[in-house]
């Protein structure tokens, strides 16, 4: 049963991604239509992602039992530490665990970890079915024996980013989109975020990047890397389709203030050159990185100069963590990358 009280009132908060983690959760890819015409390359690429994470911490994989034998074989071939990989018989519809998986919160004093369970409607009803994905947070909470806080509001993990100190980044294009919560006002959405995550203030950006079918997820454009610092995608070329939206992102970021009233340290992150498949531009961005224990996994797109530049920028943002490039040239055809595929469980 879902707990009746709000997590924040009970002392829970949403940790920052760079805080200690117990594990990373992923959902094994199975929907061929997500990568039309190119699905064969996806399970091996996904296994390489699992292998990269398993060097640093445990990985939990949601996968219906019939998928598990081949998935385990591919992970082994990719060099994953199978002692750190656990499969769960949790059937899914798609692979984007950041959005359909549990968003974990942690108690400020006791350290208890709990699950927040929001409604998932496949980014505004774009892809059906999605009922098995919507059930994943409850399944994970039951499997781990964790408290579960359910909220009848649509929210995806990729649409938010927190500094762990009461501030949260999101976008108007996504959270205020009528295909998510048409009956909720901005104030009501902010209240839900405060009550579920212990957030004190929401920092609203505008729109996301071209090709993003999630309606502007923030993890494609701007991310906290310290409590008082944000790294954000920048596109200086006025001919590029992302120039206008990212210029607006930067204008808003410059207007934001920390909890103490100071300006944020802002670091520009280059964008890869625009590319696509079958005439459709994909939402390739280096902002879709994943912070794990001791490392940062950075999506790369077979653009050596820009890939290296992005890795260098993120290396400076996260000193002391190994920077691990992960080839996402095939994965991005599904319109997401590393961060979209993963969800961290706090330690």
Provide the sign of the torsion angle of the four alpha carbons 59, 144, 294, 324, taken in this order: positive
Q: Are the C-beta atoms of 75 and 90 separated by less than 8 Å?
A: no
β-pairing verdict for 280-281 and 167-171 = unpaired
Burial zone of 23 (CB within 10 Å; 0-12 exposed, 13-18 middle, 19+ buried): buried
Strands 295-300 and 322-327, how do they pair? parallel
Dihedral sign for Cα atoms in the order 48, 50, 53, 55: negative
d(CA 347, CA 336): 26
Peptide bond into 163 cis (omega under 30): no
**340 among known catalytic residues:** yes
Nearest to 61 by CA among 21, 38, 28, 17: 28
The rounded distance, in Å, linking the Cα atoms of 84 and 76 is 11
CA gyration radius for the chain?
19
Listed residue (224, 56, 31) closest to 132, CA to CA? 31
Query: How far is it, in rounded angstroms, from Cα 63 to Cα 60?
Result: 10
The two tokens of residue 198 are 């212990």
Catalytic site residue from 174, 317, 328, 340: 340
Give the residue numbers annotated as catalytic, written as ranges.
340
């Amino acid at each position: 049963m879902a707990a009746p009280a709000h997590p924040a009132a009970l002392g829970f908060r949403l940790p920052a991604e760079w805080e200690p983690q117990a594990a990373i959760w992923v959902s094994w890819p199975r929907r061929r239509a997500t990568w039309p015409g190119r699905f064969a390359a996806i399970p091996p690429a996904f296994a390489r992602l699992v292998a990269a994470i398993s060097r640093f911490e445990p990985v939990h994989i949601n996968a219906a039992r019939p998928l598990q034998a081949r998935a385990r074989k591919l992970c082994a071939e990719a060099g994953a530490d199978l002692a750190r990989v656990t499969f769960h018989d949790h059937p899914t519809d798609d692979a984007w665990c950041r959005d359909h998986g549990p968003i974990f919160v942690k108690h400020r004093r006791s350290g208890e970890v709990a699950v927040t369970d929001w409604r998932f409607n496949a980014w505004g009803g774009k892809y059906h079915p999605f009922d098995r994905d919507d059930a994943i947070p409850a399944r994970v909470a039951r499997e781990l024996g964790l408290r579960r806080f359910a909220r009848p509001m649509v929210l995806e993990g990729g649409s938010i980013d927190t500094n762990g100190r009461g501030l949260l980044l999101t976008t108007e294009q996504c959270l205020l989109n009528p295909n998510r919560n048409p009956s909720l006002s901005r104030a009501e959405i902010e209240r839900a975020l405060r009550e579920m995550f212990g957030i004190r203030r929401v920092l609203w950006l505008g729109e996301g990047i071209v090709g993003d079918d999630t309606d502007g997820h923030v993890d494609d454009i701007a991310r906290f890397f310290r409590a008082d610092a944000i790294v954000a995608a920048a596109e200086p070329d006025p001919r590029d389709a992302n120039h206008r939206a990212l210029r607006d992102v930067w204008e808003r970021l410059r207007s934001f203030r920390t909890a103490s009233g100071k300006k944020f340290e802002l670091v520009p992150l280059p964008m890869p050159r625009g590319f696509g498949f079958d005439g459709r531009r994909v939402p390739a961005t280096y902002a879709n990185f994943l912070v794990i224990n001791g490392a940062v996994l950075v999506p790369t797109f077979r653009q050596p100069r820009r890939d290296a530049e992005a890795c260098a920028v993120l290396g400076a943002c996260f000193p002391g963590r190994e920077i691990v490039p992960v080839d996402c040239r095939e994965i991005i055809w599904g319109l997401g990358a590393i961060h979209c595929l993963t969800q961290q469980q706090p330690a």
